[in-house]
Copies of this chain bind each other. A is one copy, B any other.
């Protein structure tokens, strides 16, 4: 996780990065009331207020407390509240009870942010390189929480029978129809994946870069669309156990799953709840808010399979991770239909794409030293890798080697599916 910004440029570039990241978080929370920012709709999600405070705690703890002499904690009782899962930082508030923290208020948390921002910007020019690396890490950490803030608030609002909109209106789609899905040849033979540690930021779990042998295969030019998903539903997709993994079918039956999250029937039509409220389903947009189980079942139904992480990453190597429908500003983001193109479409942005690869260590993986070593490694069990970023991922955060991971039943992220196929 060492910073790979050039030493002399680091403080200036970091200052800009820090400033932009911190400002976007506050902007994302602007439409929220104190109550909106406090409630927690499920243990997997956190209150918006908590995201705002926890990302500040990260800077306060690992940079200001550890590297800035004389820094005084904003409130000595708050680290207990806003430590997420760092055992090395001691005991902490129980995650499922975050929604009971009506105090401190949203306003007090914003003051906390201002306090941390001022102290950090004051300290930044003189920070040693290891501390600069932690600032950079903290910015990328906060970007992750920006995406979670959006998906958590979407989940919260979806549980309110009034179905309130976070923002009034989304921009309209430039291209309502993605056109037919096409199969492209994937890279085969020995390929390299993972982060080489040479330029730009990457998390420890993306490293080291290493060779992987791939078999010949095809990969779809774009993710599956809502309209294609409707065909799956109409064909009994959620009622036929032969489509499903055993765990997936048990989940379908136990949870009475019948469609992607946030879909609901309106007579014969489907509606989808989004950050701008309830709207008719857009058939051309990529399907989102599906679990691994659903992605896998769809692929089996379609006579295909999910791409492996290495297949996906090898295919994405030639794509620009800064393009695509990603998060630029505070607005009601949503996946949009792919524009026409001959090559791979929507590898970055729109929806995270489930791969068929478990989230495990790359060969030679080493955790970062210290408490931040708990960042990624201890979650390498039971989860699957998603690639590519979504409409809620801050632009600049994702890259080909980026590894997102969730449990196979989780689907409150903007998660979708791109198919692959053996040749």
- Listed in ascending order, the chain A residues whose CB lies under 8 Å from chain B are 33-39, 41, 77, 80-81, 85, 87-88, 93, 97, 99-106, 156-157, 159-162, 164, 190, 210-215, 217, 241-242, 244-249, 292-293, 296, 305, 308, 356-358, 360-361, 363-364, 374, 378-382, 408, 422
Whether the Cβ atoms of A190 and B213 lie closer than 8 Å is: yes
Query: How many angstroms from the CA of A214 to the CA of B211 in the assembled complex?
Result: 8
Query: How many angstroms from the CA of A66 to the CA of B81 in the assembled complex?
Result: 48
With both beta carbons as reference points, the residue of chain B lying nearest to A189 in the complex is identified as B211
Residues of B within 8 A of A36 (CB): 102-103
6 extra A-B contacts, CB within 8 A, seeds A87-B249, A382-B382: A36-B102, A101-B160, A210-B215, A215-B364, A356-B361, A358-B360
Whether the Cβ atoms of A102 and B39 lie closer than 8 Å is: yes
With both beta carbons as reference points, the residue of chain B lying nearest to A191 in the complex is identified as B213
Residue in contact with A379 in the complex, picked from B105, B159, B245, B360, CB distance below 8 Å: B245
Residues of B within 8 A of A80 (CB): 161
Whether the Cβ atoms of A100 and B156 lie closer than 8 Å is: yes
Whether the Cβ atoms of B102 and A99 lie closer than 8 Å is: no
Residues of B within 8 A of A157 (CB): 102
- In the complex, the 6 A-B pairs of residues with the closest C-beta atoms, listed nearest first: A358-B358, A35-B38, A87-B241, A35-B102, A215-B363, A34-B35
Residues of B within 8 A of A293 (CB): 381
Residue in contact with A212 in the complex, picked from B102, B159, B213, CB distance below 8 Å: B213
With both beta carbons as reference points, the residue of chain B lying nearest to A293 in the complex is identified as B381
Whether the Cβ atoms of A39 and B99 lie closer than 8 Å is: yes
Residues of B within 8 A of A105 (CB): 33, 35
With both beta carbons as reference points, the residue of chain B lying nearest to A49 in the complex is identified as B35
Query: How many angstroms from the CA of A215 to the CA of B209 in the assembled complex?
Result: 11
User: Nearest chain B CB to A88's CB is how many angstroms away?
Assistant: 7
Q: What are 12 A-B pairs at a CB distance below 8 A? A: A33-B105, A35-B102, A35-B103, A36-B103, A39-B100, A100-B160, A104-B162, A211-B213, A212-B213, A245-B379, A246-B379, A358-B360
Whether the Cβ atoms of A382 and B35 lie closer than 8 Å is: no
Whether the Cβ atoms of B38 and A39 lie closer than 8 Å is: yes
Whether the Cβ atoms of A356 and B364 lie closer than 8 Å is: no
Whether the Cβ atoms of B39 and A85 lie closer than 8 Å is: no
Residues of B within 8 A of A162 (CB): 77, 81, 103-104
Query: How many angstroms from the CA of A219 to the CA of B162 in the assembled complex?
Result: 51
Query: How many angstroms from the CA of A145 to the CA of B190 in the assembled complex?
Result: 40
Whether the Cβ atoms of B85 and A246 lie closer than 8 Å is: yes
Whether the Cβ atoms of B381 and A292 lie closer than 8 Å is: yes
